[in-house]
Structure 1
Amino acid sequence: MDLTLQALRRGDLSGARALRLSGPLDVLPEEVFGLADTLERLDLSGCGLTGLPEDFGRLRRLRVLFCSGNRFERLPPVLGDCSELAQIGFRGTGLREVPGEALPPRLRWLTLTDNRIAHLPDALGERPHLQKLMLAGNALTALPPTLESAKNLELVRLAANAFETLPPWLADLPRLAWIAWAGNSFEGQAAPARVPDVPWGQLEPGILLGEGASGRIVSALWKPPTGPAQTVALKLFKGTMTSDGLPEREMAACLAAGRHPNLTGALGQVVDHPDGAQGLLMPLLPSDWRVLAGPPSLESCSRDVYDPALRLGSAVALRIARDVARGAAHLHARGLLHGDLYAHNTLWDGTVGEAVLSDFGAASLLPSGPAGAAWQRIETRAFGLLLGELLDRCVSEPEEIARLRDLERACVQADVAARPLMTEVVEALSGLAGAAGSDA
């Protein structure tokens, strides 16, 4: 039996605010309701449950519920009885139906990744706090038109569904900043890869550098048949659905992006892996480079979490911003939307501000013409939010910061069409950098 469940039944967890049960469970233990006055986070992932009790709303303080990996064909309507419930995660549960009454009034973050959902209720657009909507890997062909009124919606994942087009109003949402739609029929094909195939036999894998939802990154020694050996970063993809979409689409986007000094682009594509895994070779950054921030937390929802001690000079912040903007502008010129332009996907040198934009897991192919320009301006808002976060950590040069704040406001303004394109952002930042240099 789960040790946590034993402790719960003995009364050892009285007053607990968070509870994780590992199962297996046939029903939700009645003892959970003994925590109704304090319980805010409940994780029932992988417990084998197929339903929740009708009186689940007794958990009146519950704010976060994870039920991923269970077997629910229907999102339980009783969730709507939880007045404080803001975050719901039902990933990979076999969901087919999402009743409107299952959506609680304070819903902020909904994860329904990797299910069988073909329809969403109008009630989804009637939840004014909704910020994050994770729907990759379903059977959706449309979104509820009521979502046009979801003015606080900031992040949407629609990859690997059955959309033949996206609703035109989606690109007009005033706060939308991060979106992914790769793997839908309307997306088209990426440009052919311009990197060599690298046989597995030419590689000597080394130490683990990092691991994410889509794959593992290790150092590797690449020994081509001609030329010197070189140390590279090797990403091996897991081949499973992520919250952003399909790993093979991430790989295609990374290849289509090409090389750029401000992107972790591909040097080669792995072939002949003994287990059939797909992989990419990427430049190996210096060992002292680091991520700019951590990913969003349950509390911050759509905002990255920074080291509280991080302080930046204005010149450093400007350099980071300019490098990220250059990387994003290059992607847009190549017909790609990054989709996840965040500090947690930005690597920097920790000193002067040299930076690269990483992780193409949410990248999507842009449509041509005005529609593509509209989506580029959605990503401009993501950049503007990142710029604001950098400026919040600056410690000097108030006059220069004021000019950057003007650019931030232009990037995040509610009128999407009035935002600058990333090429214009790069020009503005380069001008500010030049002015700062001449002042010096």
Structure 2
Amino acid sequence: MHTLEQLKNGELKGTVHLNLSENLSQFPSEIFDLADSLEVLDLSNNQLSELPQDLNRLKHLKILFCSNNQFTCLPPMLSLCPKLEMIGFKSNKIEHVPASSLPLKTRWLILTDNKISELPESLGQLVNLEKLMLAGNLLTKLPQSIHSCHKLGLIRLSANQLTEFPDLILDLPKLAWLAFSGNPFCQGDKTHSQIQKMSLDSFKLHEVLGQGASGIISKASSSDENNLPIDVAIKVFKGEVTSDGYPEDELDACLSTGLHPNLVKPLAHIKEVDCSALVMELIPADYINLGQPPSLKTCTRDTFTQGQSFSIKQIEHIVQQLESLVDHLIKHKVSHGDLYAHNVLINHQSDILFGDFGAASKYQMLEDYQQSGIQAIEKRALNYFIDDMLSLCQPQDRDTQPYLQLKNKLSLITE
């Protein structure tokens, strides 16, 4: 994090990545002093409502974050920035997205948690668009032109006002990660009689184990009368919309999948006036993350630790488990929407556990062809996962029959 004082004193000359959060209501003109070097500008968590008309003076700007501000319109001058490819305006008050606001180089567009009811047809001109984050808006339809966005790999449409499933996206050749829960067309029963309901008072919370967009996971102790393991994990959901949708839909999808050996096991549901939570089995301490989230460079594809590798035998075991899990999800008509290595936990025996249903969507209410299309999208994500695993295969195993057989499973990946 930088300071406005540093900027005004000229201490940031040559800065490539500038991050300013000081309750700003106006764009500091001194930012233009960095025009020869600045590539990433983060002005999130301020009070900005407009940007300067000559923003294109920042001729090297590639990434612009303006989340948690006061914008009501996506600034039209964005399209004039010659290198701008990643745009983030999450949690503003945006109602209007002008056709002129979208740079043709855009790869990653984040408009989560705004008030957008319509997108321009010019969206289809963004032939480089790979990631489109639209959860938590007022969209009733998508522009017809979206079918031209052939590089789109990830779309978040949850928590909008779509009255019909957008069939347009089913033919996108690279779409692999899709979230659409929380729309009028997919409303349904969210009661789960098969899992017991409990009070948060019957548990004692301990240290935080992890925190995500939808909630906080803590270690907890269960009372004897609960008839549960003594040590459990509890995820307390936040109430607001996340980048993937509503936390209540995450909980519903998780409870709708049933039990599987590679899923973190839910034990109980806590539903109180001011608290919604899921009690889960505590994950053994020897499990670690298989992958890391996509970077600004990779956009939709996971990253991995330098030097990370697996034998083909380990990869076969990992893939077989995830294939079994995908089949299980299909049986229960739940799309996970986030089949990524960074959501997979793995131990030394290459046993995996999968969780994080933040982007999951139930689709039993849809037509058969729509269900088939959604399943094909999910299987494409599985193939990308296999592709990532094979990229980590130890060199001595790359000429083996198992390796070649897995390579042949990648038919849904199109270049």
TM-score by length of 2: 0.95
Q: CA deviation at 1:179?
A: 0.6
| Amino acid in the other structure paired with 1:355 | I
CA distance in 1 between partners of 2:214 and 2:226 (Å): 32
Cα displacement (A) at 1:332:
1.3
Measure the CA separation in 2 of the matches of 1:226 and 1:27: 55
Q: Note the C-alpha offset of 1:3.
A: 6.0
Q: 1:378 to 1:144 in 2, by over 3 A?
A: same
1:405 maps to what in 2?
407
Deviates more, 1:135-144 or 1:194-203: 194-203
Instruction: Give the deviation of 1:167 after TM superposition.
Output: 2.7
Q: Do the aligned partners of residues 224 and 328 (structure 1) sit closer, same or farther apart at CA in structure 2, a change above 3 Å counting?
A: farther
Equivalent positions of 1:83-232 (< 5 A) are 83-190=82-189, 192-193=191-192, 194-225=194-225, 227=227, 229-232=229-232
Change (3 A) 1:3 1:180: closer
Mapping of residues 18-57 of structure 1, within 5 Å: 18-57=17-56
The answer as to whether partners of 1:324 and 1:356 remain within 8 angstroms in 2 is no
Cα distance between partner residues in 2 of 1:318 and 1:305: 20
Query: Partner residue of 1:426?
Result: none
Alpha-carbon separation, structure 2, partners of 1:301 and 1:79 = 20
Within 2, Cα distance between the matches of 1:307 and 1:46?
A: 31
> Residues 318, 32 of structure 1: CA spacing in aligned structure 2 closer, same or farther, 3 A cutoff?
same
Q: Distance in 1 between matches of 2:85 and 2:140?
A: 26
User: What is the SS of the residue equivalent to 1:269?
Assistant: strand
Residue in 1 that maps onto 2:359: 362
Give the SS at the match of 1:278. Answer: strand
**Amino acid in structure 2 at the alignment position of 1:209:** L
Unaligned 5+ runs, structure 2: none
The 8 Å contact of residues 130 and 300 in structure 2, kept in 1 or not, is answered as yes
- Give 1:331's aligned residue: 329
For 2:304, which of 293, 303, 306 is the aligned residue?
Answer: 306
What is the letter of the counterpart of residue 286 of structure 2? D
- Alignment-mate amino acid for residue 303 of structure 2: V
Identity of aligned residues (%): 39
Contact 2:2 2:18 in 1 (8 A): no
Root mean square deviation, CA, Å: 1.5
Q: 1:298 to 1:343 in 2, by over 3 A?
A: same
CA contact (8 A) 2:195 2:267 kept: yes
Letter in 2 for 1:361: G
- How far, CA to CA, are the matches of 2:349 and 2:308 in structure 1? 14
Tell me which amino acid in the other structure corresponds to 1:322.
Answer: Q
> Does the residue aligned with 2:279 lie in a helix, a strand or coil?
strand
Measure how far apart 1:96 and its partner are.
0.2
CA distance in 1, matches of 2:224, 2:241: 32
The code of the aligned residue for 2:238 comes to: K
* CA distance 1:55–1:223, shift in 2 (3 Å): same
Deviation at 1:190, TM superposition (A): 4.8
Q: Say if 1:394 and 1:162 are closer, same or farther in 2 by CA, change over 3 A.
A: same
Measure how far apart 1:37 and its partner are.
1.1
Residues 281-307 of structure 1, C-alpha deviations (whole Å, 9 max, x = no match)? 111111010111111111111111110
User: What one-letter code is carried by the residue in structure 2 that aligns with 1:297?
Assistant: S
Gaps of 5+ in 1: 415-440
**CA drift at 1:226:** 6.1
Give the Å deviation of 1:159. 0.3
Who is 1:238 aligned against? 238
* Distance (Å, rounded) in 1 between the aligned partners of 2:276 and 2:190: 18
The CA deviation at 1:368 is: 4.6
